[in-house]
Structure 1
């Protein structure tokens, strides 16, 4: 079977390792949400993940992989899984998205296992604001995350990306301070528009700030230019004048990028979906594997979904990026 070759090559798989998290961020798992976590025995095992990569996704042209959650560093054996994926001959790029809380202890082992790219959520530079965003009680965890960021930097992760979800009235006043992190270090700070997935109440009361408004603040303060550095995803990348790093904007609300989307998503319990915002057409790969469906048949199913993705992208763009979804962001592995 030949690899599908739609106008936008679909070669990037986001693999959720766990649907649980040690934070409860307001844009991801709102307080009071009735979350139904997958049983551990329903998670894809490491062997099942590797089997799907080797026998299904890689033969279909997937060469770039990102490990997500929930919080992927909570997954037992994460270092060994990273090593196994990094050693696959066809792996061209492997990255992790993490909240950074456990990173100080894991950065070195992950780097030695072959990981080179990492995205860390950092929604505020203020410990109190940070705690307000991540939820929970007790001491602030900001220092732990900042230590994880510093450790990852010293270990040698490059590029080191910092993700910021901008929420009106909570952290939008920190845009310039966060953007400034890209000036002295070769860090990539990425501003993400707030989305109404699993947080309808907060989204309804706060709304969202479009990327152009954020760009305008940064442009007025320092001046910016389009960066020659391009990412693997949908971010529009710029650079503050004279900065060593970059600033990126993921504008899924104001500047729909469905026609540029090159990724599929595999949930921790084995559901493959073609779109973050739409569950229609998803395939239950775990059940197929455990029921003994031949890998060749599973590969054919996935190939059909991959080939349908450009049409799904088009429909999502035409509809203004509205979709049908029952899971929160942490459960999807967005």
Structure 2
């Protein structure tokens, strides 16, 4: 089992997109009331007094859409200034990124993941569930601005959906040839939306690799990430290609993370809600921080048994009640 030192922190469960794989159209979500979100001060207390002392050193800010969180830049600055923070990153859909990129970089953020599921504006808008004015130009501008500001690595996340954007895999892979960008192809995972597809809703990573291999060749990269991606590169390319194969290739034994929801639930496994801790309620009730540290340590010890290794590899479910947007990805 990998050392668990990586905490994904959901800052907000709301999003300005309604992506097929995250918040399916027609889904009725109960959004967290503002007063039930962890405040910045509560988050910092948990990071400093609970998570860092038990070994967490890497933090990723997620959502929903984290750029919708008030006072985000200040929170980034405070986490980045903690001497124990070894790595701080953020995942965004990029729509609000262009005007915030420089401020986030100046606050200490250096790594960013941006969702870009299509290079075609019509397909893109279909995936994100938006009609009317296309959102694609704003996202592309956010990517360009982040690149210009200096985010490195700059990662682009692509959830591959059969019959929707799978024909674009080679075009998306080509973005890495002349740029130090890292494109990561993600197998669609039916979390909270298992009825979205009647047939298999995901394409095995090996099929994508073979398609790229046939076009340019493919070699293993020397650049290794802190996450679950298997990293390759097109020979001579400046960037890399990552493949996150949670459906076809179980990587539970390599899992090095836990997830903290926007309302303070600590989740040891994306696909299993057993063992969750309600840290927000305990913190607000005045439970001693030493007691919370001990509870998190105990959860770390049983995490290998909680990982959902025997999940279905079809479009069926698992032991979860929240959608991906509510969990924090």
Q: TM-score range by the shorter chain?
A: over 0.9
Q: Secondary structure at the match of 1:297?
A: helix
What is the Cα deviation at residue 320 of structure 1? 5.0
| Rounded Cα–Cα distance in structure 1 between residues aligned with 2:311 and 2:257 | 19
Q: Which residue of 2 aligns with 1:51?
A: 45
Give the Cα–Cα distance (whole angstroms) in 1 for the partners of residues 104 and 80 of structure 2.
10
Kept after mapping to 1: 8 A contact 2:312/2:318: no
Is 1:153 equivalent to 2:147 in the alignment? yes
Output the aligned Cα RMSD: 1.0
- Structure 2 residue 27 is the aligned partner of structure 1 residue 23: no
- Note if contact 1:256-1:320 (Cα within 8 Å) is conserved in structure 2: no
Offset of 1:200 from its aligned partner? 2.0
> 1:276 maps to which residue?
270
The equivalent residue for 1:130 is: 124
User: Is the 8 Å Cα contact of residues 167 and 206 (structure 1) preserved in structure 2?
Assistant: no
Contact 1:27–1:198, Cα closer than 8 Å, also in 2: no
Tell me the CA shift for residue 197 of structure 1. 1.1
The answer to whether structure 1 residue 246 and structure 2 residue 240 are counterparts is yes
Measured after TM superposition, the shift of residue 203 of structure 1 is 2.9
CA distance in 2, matches of 1:85, 1:147: 27
Q: What's the counterpart of residue 329 of structure 1?
A: 324
What do residues 55-108 of structure 1 show as CA deviations (whole Å, max 9, x unaligned)?
A: 000000100000000000000000000000000000000000000000000000
The alignment partner of 1:37 has SS state of coil
Moved more, 93-102 or 205-214: 205-214
State which of 219, 222, 227 in structure 1 corresponds to 2:216: 222
Aligned length: 326
Question: What is the CA distance between 1:323 and its match in structure 2?
Answer: 2.8
**3-state SS of 1:114 partner:** coil
Q: Is residue 169–residue 206 contact of structure 1 (8 Å, CA) maintained in 2? A: no
**Separation in structure 2 between the aligned mates of residue 22 and residue 260 of structure 1, nearest angstrom:** 32
1:317 correspondence with 2:301: no
Deviations along 1:122-175, one digit per CA (max 9) or x if unpaired, are: 000000000000002211100000000000000000000000000000000000
CA contact (8 A) 2:275 2:306 kept: no
Counterparts in 2 of 1:185-224, with a 5 A limit? 185-205=179-199, 207-224=201-218
Structural mapping, 1:66-77, within 5 Å:
66-77=60-71
Partner residue of 1:142 out of 136, 139, 160: 136
Deviation of 1:201 after TM superposition, in Å, equals 2.6
Deviation at 1:199, TM superposition (A): 2.1
Aligned pairs for 1:110-129 (under 5 A) are: 110-129=104-123
| Structure 2 residue runs without a partner (length 5+) | none
C-alpha contact (below 8 Å) 2:10/2:66 kept by paired residues = yes
Distance 1:309 1:258 in 2: 10
Residue 249 (structure 2) aligns with: 255
Bigger proportion of residues as helix? 1
Structure 1: segments with no counterpart, 5+ residues: 1-6
Q: What is the alpha-carbon distance in structure 2 between the residues aligned to residue 30 and residue 66 of structure 1? A: 24
Which of 227, 230, 240 is the aligned partner of 1:236? 230
> Structure 1: how far apart are the matches of 2:199 and 2:92?
27
Report the Cα offset of residue 317 of structure 1. Answer: 1.8
Q: Distance in 2 between matches of 1:50 and 1:81?
A: 8
Q: Which residue of 2 aligns with 1:4?
A: none
Which secondary structure state, in structure 2, belongs to the residue aligned with residue 184 of structure 1?
Answer: coil
Are 2:64 and 1:94 equivalent residues in the alignment?
Answer: no
Contact 2:98 2:143 in 1 (8 A): yes
